[in-house]
């Protein structure tokens, strides 16, 4: 009997080193349901959209929002994704 020469690759799940409050919700973005995980660390928010790192944004004390998208993140037009996510977070008072 021949042995199968299969390559076995172990599954590695690495926990994010970003610590903070996790906010999880589903929202319609561009007419598609998106699963969003936001990790809030003080006034800085890290966004994971459907399993991919979308980027982050921060709010200063005056309410100004600064967005930082990933160059090869979940979306090239990440601005269209940030606005509904920020609106949902405001709705949740986060």
Domain coordinates in residue numbering, the chain: 21-91
pLDDT band for 10, please (50, 70, 90 cuts): low
What distance in Å separates the CA atoms of residue 78 and residue 55, rounded to the nearest whole number?
Answer: 8
pLDDT given at position 67: 87
C-alpha distance across the termini of the chain, in Å = 61
Closest CA to 16 of 60, 42, 48: 48
Mean pLDDT of 27-54: 87
Q: Specify the long-range contacts of residues 37-41, CB closer than 8 Å, at least 24 apart.
A: 38/85, 38/89, 38/94, 40/94
Asked if pLDDT for residue 12 goes beyond 60, the answer is no
Q: Mean pLDDT over residues 3-26, rounded? A: 69
Which residues, 6+ apart, have CB-to-CB distance to 22 below 8 Å? 37, 38, 39, 40
Please give the model's pTM, rounded to 2 decimal places: 0.69
């Amino acid at each position: 009997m021949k042995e199968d020469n299969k390559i076995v690759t172990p599954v590695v799940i690495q926990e994010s080193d970003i610590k903070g409050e996790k906010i999880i919700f589903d929202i319609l973005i561009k007419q598609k349901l998106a699963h969003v995980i936001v990790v809030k660390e003080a006034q800085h928010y890290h966004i994971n959209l459907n399993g991919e790192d979308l980027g982050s944004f921060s709010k200063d004390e005056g309410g100004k929002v600064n967005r930082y998208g990933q160059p090869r993140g979940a979306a090239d037009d990440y601005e269209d994704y940030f606005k509904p996510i920020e609106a949902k977070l405001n709705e949740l008072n986060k």
